[in-house]
Amino acid sequence: MPIRRKIMPSLRQQLRNKRRSLTRSEQLSASIALARRLATDLAIITARRIAFYLPNDGEIDPTRFMFWCHATGKEIYLPVVPDKPMPNTPALLFQAYVPGFTNLVVNRFGVPEPQFDKRRCIKASSLNLVFLPLVGFDRKGNRIGMGKGYYDKTFSDKVRGFRAPRLIGLAHSIQETEILPNPWDVPLEEVFTEREKISMPGG
């Protein structure tokens, strides 16, 4: 059995501290710049079903672009962490979300998510795009998350060929770092920051 390479806790904490250190003004400017950049990308603006995240712990805020997507008729989804995961089901579920209307609850990790309703969930493979929050990223498509592996576990079938959504990381530019990935990590196809779009080799 392969040994999982662990991200040094000090690196993850360092990167989290970097994004937390941004002022409200810097966070606002980054959110506006990110929304403008996303709104000019043809592959993104033509997508119909998009999974977002609600920002937490200093993550770059995609909600301005989320509201724009909702106003233009796109279907918006948010990840939901099941309290009691069922066997042979994804680590994350994706539930329909109407910005400013859908009731939210705080999950066991302190992250807001829709109040669970299985009838409003869709398969991950039905999404066109998934925006992923990042702790760190590099220019090879590698990503450091919060360490739970939910996105990797959910989209692991991608490497086995099922028709998966496009995985796009969103981050502050200060979160770029060097990463030694695990063999089973699911790579990103692009990363957007407040400064640029980074397309990955083969993405």
178 lies in some domain: yes
* Amino acid 88: pLDDT: 60
By C-alpha distance, which of 148, 202, 137, 145 is closest to 174?
137
CATH number of the domain where residue 99 is located? 3.40.50.10420
Predicted pLDDT of residue 24: 97
What is the C-alpha separation between 128 and 145, in angstroms, rounded? Answer: 21
- Report residue 123's pLDDT band, with 50, 70 and 90 as the boundaries: confident
Q: 177: phi > 0 → left, psi -120 to 50 → alpha, else beta; which? A: beta
DSSP H helices in the chain: 9-20, 24-38, 42-45, 63-71, 150-154
How large is the average pLDDT for residues 83-108? 83
Q: Is the pLDDT of residue 197 over 50?
A: yes
Residue 113 pLDDT > 80: yes
pLDDT band at 180 (very low <50, low <70, confident <90, very high): confident
Residue 3 included in any domain: no
Q: How many structural domains compose the chain? A: 1
Instruction: Please name the residues in contact with 46: beta carbons below 8 A apart, sequence gap of 6 or more.
Output: none
Quick: pLDDT tens for 27-86: 999 999 999 999 999 999 999 999 999 999 999 999 999 999 999 999 999 999 887 666
163 within some domain? yes
Looking at residue 127, what is its pLDDT? 94
Give the number of other CB atoms < 10 A from CB of residue 22: 16
**Range(s) of the domain holding residue 89:** 13-199
Can you give the pLDDT at residue 2?
41
Six token digits for residue 144: 């450091």
* 4 within a domain of the structure (yes/no): no
- What phi-psi label fits residue 140: left (phi over 0), alpha (psi between -120 and 50 degrees) or beta? alpha
> Is 50 domain-assigned?
yes
**Residue-level pLDDT at 47:** 97
In a domain, 162, yes or no: yes
Torsion of CA 133, 134, 138, 141, to 10 degrees: -40
Say if 138 falls within a structural domain. yes
Domain assignment present for residue 76? The answer is: yes
